[in-house]
Amino acid sequence: YKKIEGIVQRILDEFDDDVALFQELLDDFLAYRSQEERRAEVMEQRTRDAEKGRARSELARQRVDAELAQRTADKQLPEPVDTLIHDAWHRLLVVTYLKHGEDSQFWHRALKVVELLLWSIDYHPEREAREQLVKKVQALVEELKRGLNKIGYNPGETQRLLDALEGI
């Protein structure tokens, strides 16, 4: 509307006998319309991309929820472990799924950390299992730190969770 109003105003202000003004205004209007069509196409593409991204993020969250539910079903998790798995590590799994996919080594490695964490908090009366636990705990803690650092998890909260995990 503003563009057409400007064109009409120019005709009223500038037209006398020279019809070349009409060609100039037509060319200007067609260029404007072409630019607006390109802008609309870009906006449509951005909207489609954003919608795909939202759908993909939702799929990732559902997949992570299912994986964690499968691994933690029927388990009474201490609060720090529950927070670590269902908050912090959940975020890491979503990012990993989106970035690398569910067939990647990163995805499988992140799930193995959950399994090792769950195994580490179980009671192990056998001497051999306790020895394995001692060997694996440091690697588990390092993997947890590395993963939480990747997603920018609060360092103070990370330390609090790891301290609580050590107590468990």
Q: Are 142 and 150 in contact (CB under 8 A)?
A: no
DSSP secondary structure string, 102-113?
TTSHHHHHHHHH
Q: What is the C-alpha separation between 124 and 48, in angstroms, rounded?
A: 52
The tens place of each residue's pLDDT in the chain, 168 residues long, gives: 999 999 999 999 998 888 899 999 999 999 999 999 999 999 999 888 888 889 999 999 999 999 999 999 988 999 999 999 999 999 999 999 999 999 999 999 999 999 999 988 888 778 887 788 878 888 999 999 999 999 999 999 999 999 998 888
Give the tens place of pLDDT for each residue, 18-51.
889 999 999 999 999 999 999 999 999 988 888 8
pLDDT of residue 126: 84
Give alpha helix (H) positions in the chain: 2-14, 20-72, 79-83, 90-100, 105-121, 127-150, 155-167
CA 156 to chain centre: 22
For residue 113, the tally of other CB atoms under 10 A from its CB is 20
pTM: 0.72
Residues recorded for the chain: 168
